[in-house]
Structure 1
Amino acid sequence: MATTARLHGYDVLLLTGEEGPDAMILMDVELQDERLPLLRETDQPSALIGLPADTAGLTCVDLDWSATGALCVEQLAGLGHRDITVIGEAPAVYERHTGFAERTLDGVRSRARETGVRVLHRPCEGGYDAMALTLARIFDERPATTGFVVQNESAVEPLLALLRQQGRAVPEDVSVVAICPDQVAAQASVRLTSVAIPAQEMGRYAVEHLVAKLDGRGGDEVVLLAPELTVRASSGPAPAAS
């Protein structure tokens, strides 16, 4: 965001007090975000990186998270996996009804119904201990699980380590698809099939729309970026049923 803003002659200010900016970018947007009524009342141009339930009168840019969830299911279902678990963000993220997490889950469930895949969703705090408890619970509830969709960067390496310890080879026994930055996917202990999070592109779009508003050229609009899945080493055909 800062780079794009500087190209247009603006600075980026992180607000921690009562400073008055020329324009505002809101992040970590919830479906029913309490900041939005005030945002709609102000004359200052604004943009959201995220998508609330009601986008009227707002400029929003986000990854199409519903399509992202659907794409992950398509990848695993196409490889023959019929029992998939989504390892999600920490429970508090869902309790706040944060847009990206809710929409990803909606996309997963919708495409799972269409493809006949069974889906289990388990939030996870991340880290080794939390992931160990979550994984044990998953295999207790769904011992036939052969596919994982991971939307929690801090759970990626603990999950891969725990699967190795349990003698579950990736991707021969279990496939993993992550929603994470490309760098995280490429540097994981098993290179992860993943949908990238285009953070720089979202920031650039938000700043460019704000600059257009400041120059009197732009109106409110919603921009959803299409997800892109990169196949790497962590996804393969579902193992044959024994």
Structure 2
Amino acid sequence: MKRAIPVLVLSVAGLVPVWLYEPSLGTASTEASTPSVSSSAASGSGSGGTVVKGSTLQTEKGPVQVQVTFQGTRITAVRMLQQPNHPQTTAAVPKLIAETLEAQSADIDTVSGATITSGGYKESLQAAIDANANAESASSSSASPSAAAAAQTVDGPTLQTVKGPVQVQATFEGEKITAVKMLQQPNHPQTTAAVPKLIAETLEAQSADIDTVSGATITSGGYKESLQAAIDAKG
């Protein structure tokens, strides 16, 4: 019995270091790095450019509107802002955009099975192209300080049409028409689509002797009359 006591004491003493030992537990980080996304990558375009929204066309299938990105006069991207909710339209849009980027114009083929959407797309696209061309022309004419100093702006009279008032403002440098702006116009989709075409034709013809835009006969007539008065008033 006396021999058992030392053995027991030694056993207990041997266990003390085990009780006092606390294993070191490493602390794992739960914070993960979040990849940053630049605004250009998020928007899908890192090249920038001028973004122009085309007019909204109310078709039998639903509204159609495009947004076009330009580098100068070159079309670099086209995006549908509004389109009919139909499978034919969904299938047609990529084809229309691809043809636009290749043709660099609205002179593209109609997609079979999506005739109405194709028509609205091309008309909205043409309006955006015309608006960009007008902006480019105005930017070029204002680039020279001496040209800007010589510019003369004349407001044409307001024509009261059955669709609403029409009034244009023309900017001249000498005898050259460098810019045209609509001060008043009817609030109709046809007018919205027609105005860029009328302005583009004016800058090309350098007169009010331009074609009437189909579907906007009344607005076209008021536009030409107000424009001619501005040209005459300039002297």
TM interval, shorter chain, is under 0.3
TM-score using structure 2 length: 0.24
Higher helix share: 2
Q: Which has the higher contact order (CA 8 A, sep 6+)?
A: 1
